Amino acid sequence: MGSASNFPEANTTVRALIADPAVGEMLELLAGESSLDRPLRHPRIQKSGLVLVGHSRGIVRHRVQVLGETEISFLESLDPVTRRQRCDFLFSLDLSLVVVTRGVSPLAELLDAARATGTPFAIMEPRSSRAIALIHAVLDRLLAPSETRHGVLIDVHGLGALLLGPSGIGKSECALFLVERGHRLVADDQVILSRTPNGEVIGRPPPLLRHHLELRGIGIVNIRDLFGATAVREDKVVHLVVELCPWDPDEEFDRLGLDDLRHELLGLSLPMLRIPVQPGRNMAVILEVAARNQLLKRAGRDGAREFVRALHARLGITPDD
């Protein structure tokens, strides 16, 4: 199983961070409007207190720099000339973004230095601890390793099922059948997958395709408009990968449920099923059963293996036979 360190360094921008509602609603940009495309390359903020005493070693330009109550109080304790020198030194480091917490009016020297260097400079309403938590949560998402897959992601009984398979195999139709039965569409055709710091893969649709489903012969339909808000969701953790395969009588498919197939997504190994598609098969019911069975396995109940153990016991076969 891989780790996030196996992926190239991720990048996002100040613009993307402040455009996220979770941060943007709490933040007011005061300077640096022309520099919002400066990169952010680390999901954790950096407290800039040491810089204010002239020590810049260890400062990472492309992290969000936060000035809290302690740092502002320290600046206020300095004489005007020294205060301006320290503020000018901080903003001379070509930082991506500096944030002052608690929504306080910034010191004039900070604002002047930000404007002089074109550095994005903002205030956030919450106290430092909450502001930092918000920034971390958004940057975790923006900087997560990601890729886009052709497929369908649907929430079935609370389990995220990623449907893969060749074009025309019926992935979108399966999703429609499941929505009709009360399940929720996440993404159709293109699924953006991101790996989270806690070792999960989350899927979401591209913004333009959000809530939409393509049906051959009908066209593109809006599932939310047709079935209501409860028929869609914005994202979902992927728990199970299902490959829909063309029916081939000469190909062997798992008939007992003992094959532990796995599929790798973003360095994580996820359980996988290969299900043949044939006219007349009720794929919605089959996928519901697959989801329910996977939920039982996650709870420690494996019906196939319990059956085989019971059969072996009846026949007097020991595991080593």
94 phi-psi bin (left φ>0, alpha ψ -120 to 50, beta other): left
Catalytic residue among 44, 150, 281, 301: 150
Catalytic residue (choose from 62, 63, 171, 195): 171
Q: Which of 57, 216, 255, 314 is catalytic?
A: 255
pLDDT per residue over 138-186, tens digit each?
998 888 888 999 999 999 999 999 999 999 999 999 999 999 999 999 9
Q: Which of 239, 227, 217 is nearest to 175 (CA)?
A: 227
Amino acid 3: pLDDT: 39
Residue 49's alpha-carbon distances to 6, 9, 308, in angstroms, are 32, 27, 64
Active-site residue, 255 included: yes
Helix (H) or strand (E) holding 100: strand 97-100
Taking only the tens place, the pLDDT of each residue in 266-289 is 989 999 999 999 888 899 999 999
Q: Is 274 a catalytic residue?
A: no
239 catalytic per annotation: no
Q: Would you say the C-alpha torsion 307, 313, 316, 321 has a positive or negative sign?
A: positive
**Over the stretch 92-148, which tens digit does the pLDDT of each residue have?**
999 999 999 987 788 999 999 999 999 999 999 888 899 999 999 999 888 888 899
DSSP track, 148-187: EEEEEEEEETTEEEEEE--TTSSHHHHHHHHHHTT-EEEE
Q: How many CB atoms lie within 10 A of CB 10?
A: 18
Based on the residue annotation, tell me whether 150 is a catalytic residue of this protein. yes
Predicted local confidence at residue 243, as pLDDT: 96
**Residues in a beta bridge with 185:** 154, 232
- Contact in structure between 149 and 193 (CB atoms under 8 Å): yes
User: Who's near 122: CB < 8 A, 6+ residues apart?
Assistant: 18, 27, 28, 29, 30, 97, 98, 99, 100
233 DSSP 8-state letter: -
Through-space distance between the first and last CA atoms of the chain, rounded to whole angstroms: 32
Q: Does 144 or 291 have the greater pLDDT score?
A: 291
Domains in the chain: ranges and CATH: 7-142 (3.40.1390.20), 146-304 (3.40.50.300)
Q: Which helix (H) or strand (E) holds 19?
A: helix 14-19
Percentage of the chain exceeding pLDDT 70: 96
Q: Which residue has the tokens 């810089």?
A: 51
This prediction has a pTM of 0.71
